Amino acid sequence: MTIEQFSGRGRLADTGEGITGDELQLAARNHGIPLEALRYELTPPGLHYVLVHYDIPATNAATWQLTIDGCVEQPLSFGLTELRAMGRQTVRVTLECAGNGRAGLQPRPISQPWLMEAVGTAEWTGVPLAGLIRAAGIRKDAIDVVFTGADHGFERGVEQDYQRGLSITEAMESDAIVAWEMNGAPLPPQHGYPLRLVMPGWYGMASVKWLRSIELIDHEFTGYQNAVAYRIRQEPNEVGVGVTRIEPRALLIPPGHPDFMSRHRFVTAGPVVLQGRAWSGWAPIERVEVSVDAGVSWQDAKLDAESNDLSWRGFSFDWDAVPGEHVLTVRAHDRSGRVQPIEAPWNRGGFANNSAQRITVLVL
Ligand SMILES: Nc1nc2c(c(=O)[nH]1)N[C@H]1C(S)=C(S)[C@@H](COP(=O)(O)O)O[C@H]1N2
Ligand SMILES: [Mo]
């Protein structure tokens, strides 16, 4: 048996094929935010979505070392105490997995089968990435920056540490931070303890957890997670386009009460305040529309105060619920002119599917 044969393969589900055992295994490890937890402006850490490609590695803050080397004037190495002396900043960031929405695609790419719950907002505290890189000094031949985590595994036959690359410009102009706290407490193991990168506005794959190394290189990074995995493609062999920033999305807190097994919603007739949150990694949210008739007619939601970062923005809508079955749907617009589609275009990896949420309710 070869590594290749023993590894999983990327494939599309057959027409009508239900969720596979492999997908169930991933879904049981990598959990989403329960949508009712959208009520919290800051997601309590246990309710924030989690995605881990391999295993959560065994890590120790007391002996942790972060190295910065490669095309730098002066290679540096920091323990946690030394890193804390480099500065301290807190940023509020809405993180979303690039695979959010994958399970809703037809045909379905077999991978972590997110519906639309792979999102969360936290306050991350750490030191700005740009300052750390500047402390090491950027050499003229530097082109990309490679971030390496302490976790290790195999993907489609390729053995690897989890690694992602950014261009020098992306790294220096991103407001990214190297964080040791989430919502004012040390990072939980599943979110990268003791140290992670947080890249505001970008899909989650860029925010490398269990960060142990930052290396500047003199060529474009062609590691697996940049060159193979996170690319928008129609065909398996095309080069495709790298996944970067978060496309706009709005989600409602499902109103009323759920049925246990089906999670169908029951709502009492009369005035109902629909609430939710909307975000985009490209620009602040400027408008959210709500439809209570399956997208036939749309009305503007009331927006909460704007924030000066790219974290999600709350919205609400007063609905007079009349008895019968209704399909609720919402769509977000951001300042860059991007509008959330009702039906997003399909791609092979199942990335960035920001198709509008639909919630069917029975009003009694
Ligand atoms: N080292 C490492 N970093 C990682 C990952 C990983 O598997 N290993 N997963 C990435 C992906 S795909 C996402 S969506 C985010 C999830 O971050 P969270 O679990 O803190 O929400 O972490 C990213 N950083
Ligand atoms: Mo992800």
Q: What is the atom index within ligand 1 of the atom nearest the CA of 96?
A: 14
Spatial separation of the C-alpha atoms in residues 19 and 23, rounded to whole Å: 6
Q: Which residue has the tokens 């290189």?
A: 217
User: Are 315 and 185 members of one domain?
Assistant: no
Instruction: Looking at the CA of 206, name the nearest ligand.
Output: 1
227 and 261 in a single domain? The answer is no
CB 175 within 8 A of CB 89: no
Kindly give the pairing relationship between strand 270-279 and strand 249-252. antiparallel
Q: Is 53 close to ligand 1, i.e. is its CB under 6 Å away?
A: yes
Q: Is 217 in the same domain as 344?
A: no
> What does pTM read for this prediction?
0.98
Distance CA 331, CA 316 (A): 13
- Using the mean position of ligand 2's atoms as its centre, give its distance from the Cα of residue 118 in Å: 8
Tell me the residue length of the chain: 364
Between the CA of 120 and the centroid of ligand 2 the distance, in Å, is: 12
| CA-closest residue to ligand 1 atom 12 | 205
97 Cα to the center of ligand 2, angstroms: 4
Does residue 255 sit in the same domain as residue 236? no
Looking at the structure, tell me whether residues 176 and 86 fall in a common domain: yes
Find out whether 191 and 185 touch, Cβ atoms under 8 Å: no
Q: Tens-digit pLDDT profile for the chain (364 aa)?
A: 999 889 988 899 999 999 999 999 999 999 999 999 999 999 998 999 999 999 999 999 999 999 999 999 999 999 999 999 999 999 999 999 999 999 999 999 999 999 999 999 999 999 999 999 999 999 999 999 999 999 999 999 999 999 999 999 999 999 999 999 999 999 999 999 999 999 999 999 999 999 999 999 999 999 999 999 999 999 999 999 999 999 999 999 999 999 999 999 999 999 999 999 999 999 999 999 999 999 999 999 999 999 889 999 999 999 999 999 999 999 999 999 999 999 999 999 999 999 999 999 999 9
Atom of ligand 1 nearest to the CA of 190: 19
Are 19 and 44 members of one domain?
A: yes
231 in the same domain as 168: yes
Contact 254, 267 (CB under 8 A): no
How far is the centre of ligand 1, averaged over its atoms, from the C-alpha of 260 (Å)? 30
Tell me which amino acid residue 174 is. S
Angstrom CA distances, 128 to 17, 92, 106, 171, stand at 46, 13, 40, 10
Domain extent at residue 20: 3-242
State if residue 51 touches ligand 1 by the CB under 6 angstroms criterion. yes
